Amino acid sequence: MKHVVVLTGAGMSAESGIATFRDSGGLWEQHRVEDVATPEGFRRNPQLVLDFYNARRKAAFAAKPNAGHVGLADMEREYKVTIITQNVDDLHERAGSTHVLHLHGELKKVRSTVDPSLVYELTPEKPDIHVGDKCAKGSQLRPDIVWFGEAVPMIEEAIREVETADVLVVIGTSLNVYPAAGLLNYAPAGVPVYLIDPNNVVASRSGVHYIHKGASEGVGELRSLLRKTP
Interaction between residue 176 and ligand OAD (CB under 6 A): yes
Q: Is 104 a catalytic residue?
A: yes
CA distances (Å), origin 82, targets 59, 65, 224: 25, 17, 19
Interaction between residue 56 and ligand OAD (CB under 6 A): no
Q: One symbol per residue from 111 to 150: x for binding ligand OAD (CB under 6 A), - otherwise; what is it?
A: -----------------------------------x----
Amino acid identity at 88: V
C-alpha distance across the termini of the chain, in Å? 12
The residue with its CB nearest to ligand OAD is 11
Size of the site for ligand OAD (CB under 6 A): 25
Region from 125-133, 160-168, 170-178, 220-228 binding ligand OAD, contact rule CB under 6 A: 170-178
CA distances (Å), origin 71, targets 29, 65, 215: 31, 10, 10
Q: Which of 199, 206, 224, 229 binds ligand OAD (CB under 6 A)?
A: 199
Q: Which 206-225 residues touch ligand OAD, going by CB under 6 A?
A: 214-215
Interaction between residue 41 and ligand OAD (CB under 6 A): no
Q: Cα(79)–Cα(138) distance, rounded to whole angstroms?
A: 45
Region from 12-20, 91-99, 126-134, 204-212 binding ligand OAD, contact rule CB under 6 A: 12-20
Interaction between residue 104 and ligand OAD (CB under 6 A): yes
- Cβ at position 55, least distance to ligand OAD in Å: 14
Question: CB-wise, 25 or 230, nearer to ligand OAD?
Answer: 25
Question: CB-wise, 64 or 134, nearer to ligand OAD?
Answer: 64
- Cβ at position 11, least distance to ligand OAD in Å: 2
> Given 69, 92, 102, 104, which residue is catalytic?
104
Interaction between residue 21 and ligand OAD (CB under 6 A): yes
Following DSSP, what letter does each residue of the chain receive, concatenated?
--EEEEEE-GGGGGGGT---SSSTT-HHHHS-HHHHSSHHHHHH-HHHHHHHHHHHHHHHHH----HHHHHHHHGGGTSEEEEEE---S-HHHHHT-S-EEETTEEEEEEEESS-TT-EEE-BTTB----TT-B-TTS-BEEEEE--TTS--TTHHHHHHHHHT-SEEEEES----STTGGGGGGGSPTT--EEEE-SS----SSSSEEEE-S-HHHHHHHHHHHHHH--
What positions carry a catalytic annotation? 104
Positions in the binding site for ligand OAD (CB under 6 A): 9-11, 14-15, 20-23, 26, 37, 86, 104, 146, 172-174, 176-177, 197-199, 201, 214-215
